[in-house]
Amino acid sequence: MFVTTNDGKIVNLDHIVTAEEPRSGIGFSVMFADGRKERLLLPVADLDALCGTIVPAPPGFAVFEICVPPVAEAAKGLVCLDPKPIIAFRVFAATDRPVPITADGPVSSSNGWTFAVRGPEGPWVGPDGDYTHARDFKAACERELADTVARAARKAA
């Protein structure tokens, strides 16, 4: 995976062996696979991509991504992407939910994005339960958005 640093360098994260946050200053001190050390100006979120183990996904796995907008943008509704095949999973030791990776890259679960994964034989597994169909997961996200809007209206009153 490539990232662009704050100072314009393009870096292949697969070539970084270690990364340390310095006690003072900004950026990270990294060591590359060839032994070279360098300070990179990278956001912490980009270095999170270095963590975890990537394992190939068995055939037949797919992901359905939905963006639930904030209350101020609720009138726009959900953004739903077509289900995509999963090619791999990034497995983190600290979490029980691996991150699916598609041909477009890792799936996001930030900034309102959520997702459900379906194996070759099973239901769609979302962050809050299992769903028989992708449309059931979408309906649950629509209910979540409606509940959030209703709570915001009550709070404002």
Q: Which helix (H) or strand (E) holds 20?
A: strand 16-20
Domain boundaries, the chain: 2-48, 53-156
Q: Which 3-state string (H, E, C) describes 56-113? A: ECCCCCEEEEEECCCHHHHHHCCEECCCEECCEEEECCCCCCCEEEECCEECCCCCCE
CA distances from 104 to 33, 84, 132 (A): 25, 9, 25
pTM greater than 0.75 (yes/no): no
pLDDT (0 to 100) of residue 49? 59
pLDDT (0 to 100) of residue 3? 73
Low-confidence ranges of the chain (pLDDT < 70): 1, 24-25, 43-51, 94
